[in-house]
Structure 1
Amino acid sequence: MSARKKAEPKGDGITGFPFAPEREGSWKITLPCTKAEAEQLAGDPPELALLDPPPTLMTSEPDPDKPEDWQLDAYVEGKPTRALIAAVTALVPSAAKVKPVVTHIPEEDWVTLSQSGLEPIHAGRFFVHTPHNADHVPEGMTGFVIDAGRAFGTGHHETTTGCLMMLDRLKRSGLRFDDIADVGTGTGLLAFAARTLWPAARVIASDIDPVSIEVTAENAAVNAVPIGRGRGQVELVVAAGLAHRRLKARLPYDLLIANILAGPLIELAPVFANAVLPGGTIILAGLLDSQAEAVARAYRRQGFYLAGQIVRGDWPTLRLVKRKR
């Protein structure tokens, strides 16, 4: 990212947040945070749903020699209000006494950040990239255009990458699935990948956030993924867990994917178990390595066994199979 000149403070107590006529475009709120806080923010904290406009969060490790010191950058459209800045600051309690750095981003810099600033992701046979890299899909790989935007799941987080790798592993092992659900779909990427691997399957993707479903529909159009209820199509619904008549009408599933958070995964274990065929597979992600045993235990109690896992950094992706009675 190119360096940007910061606006001079004018006595409001917030670095780079001048008392100037409001400027349109994108703004960035920067705060230090801990590694643990950065990992929590990767799961799209529910507090974001209460913010208007909701920011796009990006966390990074500025200095590899200081692995516990991370940075939060929150991007918003339009000049952020004091209330919005306070809400973002509340996401990182370790920075409670730190003055946020708030800067205006010229349009061309925001485009550079959201496009070329995100390197393509290789995950199994999948190549996930922004429109900036559309001409660089390696031969023999399946490319998906997923722009940096309003929903989680660009492929750049270890949880999404791990799920893509797990799907690729299942396909290479010769498994076939006919009824697939992607719960907490985010950008739709995992549903698109599953449909590509098993093109004759019926696929449904859901998310508790209506914005995520809007983003998924947009991404489906960009990637020529047909939306609908038939085989080879992806159906989209807004729902918490499996609480939607269309999700219930499609029961049972032989493959269920849920890249959400450890708490909801444990809470939903009985619901997911009842939704999956004996011998069916559940792919779970969004949990930390320290949470993996608790999540696996919740599903063992529902008649599943751990059939495999992929660990990316501190983020495991679990494959659980329902025992045949």
Structure 2
Amino acid sequence: MREGLQPVSPSTLARLLTSEADARRVADLIGESFDPAETAVAAFELPDESGWSVEAYFADPPDEAAVRDLVALAAGAEAAAALVFEALTPKDWVAASLDGLKPVQAGRVVVHGAHDRHRVPANALGIEIEAALAFGTGHHGTTRGCLIGFDQWNKARRAGGATLRALDVGTGTGVLALAAARAARLPVVATDIDRDAVVTARANVRFNKAADRVRVLQAGTLTRAGVVDAGPYDLVFANILMRPLIGLAPQIRRLLAPGARVILSGLLPGHARAVVAAYRGQGLRLIRRRTLEGWVSLDMELPRSS
């Protein structure tokens, strides 16, 4: 998934198609070499799995020879020669993001930007997220897949009884945590490795009046006290990527209550089988797989007898 936000009105785009390792090295070196207020750089896997792309946006036209020299240092002369520069037409990126954002609905939950507040049905549960932050990548299929999985779980679960608990791993803007807190009235722990994401999620939780139910923590693993002490969890969201999903499988398993539902996403179709295998290895079973807009989400469950 793409990381980072484009600067306001960039004038020039530099793009390189390459391997994952070279893409990350190039992105790191360019990011370290230019003023972050004037430049934004991202490395991300292409949706068709044909490789990785590096995109660097410059507020002012850069010294192209200097940029190529940096690419050569990071990935070699061949990559430097393959770097493509493109002049961009001035554009209001905030307005563009608002134009491209449509409300995302799953059951009663409708995730929307402020500009679409009037479009939320009277009987729906609206969750308002700042559009430029919540949907900067445009990968709506991952969030919507998780929301659909949550809605199906929420409708099927037994009413009453013990209080259920939820965990949102890689919460981002807090959308899924807010859905669980407001639609199912669950206490939720939400984690993210990125400090800016944690700040954003906390602001969204306050704005959507869920601060009494959602606790947002900065954490790169699931072993810190604030996460462990709040478990075990009956519902877990993890909308991230294949490698961290596989790596976190043992940690997630240790936090689950019997019968827990685990909703995983952020996966390309070719990645789903490996993730299913990792969680089956932890004793979970696959309940449902769905594909939306080219992204796969998986509903998995820990049997009550485990």
- Normalization by structure 1: what TM-score? 0.71
TM-aligned CA deviation for residue 311 of structure 1: 1.5
Work out whether residues 305 and 322 of structure 1, in 8 Å CA contact, stay in contact via their aligned partners in 2.
Answer: yes
Q: Which residue does the alignment assign to 1:142?
A: 125
3-state DSSP of counterpart to 2:101 = coil
> What does 1:3-152 align with in structure 2 at a 5 Å threshold?
25-27=8-10, 29-30=12-13, 52=36, 55=40, 79=60, 97-103=82-88, 105=90, 109-150=92-133
Q: Which residue does the alignment assign to 1:235?
A: 215
Q: Structure 1: any 5+ residue segments left out of the alignment?
A: 1-23, 62-67
3-state DSSP of counterpart to 1:318 = strand
Aligned equivalents of 1:148 and 1:49: distance in 2? 27
Q: Which residue does the alignment assign to 1:218?
A: 203
Aligned equivalents of 2:67 and 2:122: distance in 1? 45
Aligned equivalents of 2:169 and 2:264: distance in 1? 10
TM-aligned CA distance change 1:95 to 1:125, over 3 Å:
farther
Work out whether residues 16 and 84 of structure 2, in 8 Å CA contact, stay in contact via their aligned partners in 1.
Answer: no
Aligned equivalents of 2:223 and 2:301: distance in 1? 22
Q: Which residue does the alignment assign to 2:4?
A: none
Aligned equivalents of 1:289 and 1:161: distance in 2? 16
TM-aligned CA deviation for residue 82 of structure 1: 6.0
TM-aligned CA distance change 1:135 to 1:81, over 3 Å:
farther
Work out whether residues 257 and 284 of structure 1, in 8 Å CA contact, stay in contact via their aligned partners in 2.
Answer: yes
TM-aligned CA deviation for residue 241 of structure 1: 2.8
1:245 equivalent in alignment to 2:225 = yes
TM-aligned CA distance change 1:81 to 1:124, over 3 Å:
farther
Match of 1:276 among 245, 256, 267: 256
3-state DSSP of counterpart to 1:307 = strand
TM-aligned CA deviation for residue 75 of structure 1: 6.1
TM-aligned CA deviation for residue 256 of structure 1: 1.0
Write out the 4+ residue segments of structure 1 that deviate beyond 3 Å after TM superposition. 28-34, 46-59, 70-76, 78-91, 93-96, 102-106, 148-156, 174-177
Q: Structure 2: any 5+ residue segments left out of the alignment?
A: 1-6
Q: Which residue does the alignment assign to 1:286?
A: 266
Work out whether residues 181 and 210 of structure 2, in 8 Å CA contact, stay in contact via their aligned partners in 1.
Answer: no
3-state DSSP of counterpart to 1:225 = coil
Instruction: In structure 1, give the amino acid aligned to 2:174.
Output: G
Deviations 1:34-77 (A, max 9, x none): 8x99xxx9xxxx95996635848699x9xxxxxx8x9987667x
TM-aligned CA deviation for residue 98 of structure 1: 4.3
Match of 1:180 among 150, 155, 166: 166
Aligned equivalents of 2:41 and 2:107: distance in 1? 27
Q: Which residue does the alignment assign to 1:11?
A: none
Work out whether residues 115 and 131 of structure 1, in 8 Å CA contact, stay in contact via their aligned partners in 2.
Answer: no
> What does 1:289-300 align with in structure 2 at a 5 Å threshold?
289-300=269-280
Aligned equivalents of 2:251 and 2:83: distance in 1? 43
Q: Which residue does the alignment assign to 2:246?
A: 266
Aligned equivalents of 2:82 and 2:218: distance in 1? 38
Work out whether residues 30 and 100 of structure 1, in 8 Å CA contact, stay in contact via their aligned partners in 2.
Answer: yes
Q: Which residue does the alignment assign to 2:153?
A: 170
TM-aligned CA distance change 1:315 to 1:114, over 3 Å:
closer
TM-aligned CA distance change 1:153 to 1:115, over 3 Å:
closer
More displaced, 294-303 or 119-128? 119-128
Deviations 1:129-168 (A, max 9, x none): 2222222213322222222345668885211110011111
Would you say how many aligned residue pairs link Structure 1 and Structure 2?
280
Aligned equivalents of 1:126 and 1:49: distance in 2? 40
TM-aligned CA distance change 1:126 to 1:279, over 3 Å:
same
Match of 1:317 among 292, 297, 300: 297
3-state DSSP of counterpart to 1:27 = coil
Match of 2:193 among 199, 208, 227: 208
Aligned equivalents of 1:56 and 1:126: distance in 2? 33
TM-aligned CA deviation for residue 217 of structure 1: 1.6
Q: Higher helix share goes to which structure?
A: 2
TM-aligned CA deviation for residue 235 of structure 1: 0.2
Instruction: In structure 2, give the amino acid aligned to 1:226.
Output: A
TM-aligned CA deviation for residue 197 of structure 1: 1.9
Q: Which residue does the alignment assign to 1:15?
A: none
- Normalization by structure 2: what TM-score? 0.74
TM-aligned CA deviation for residue 124 of structure 1: 3.3
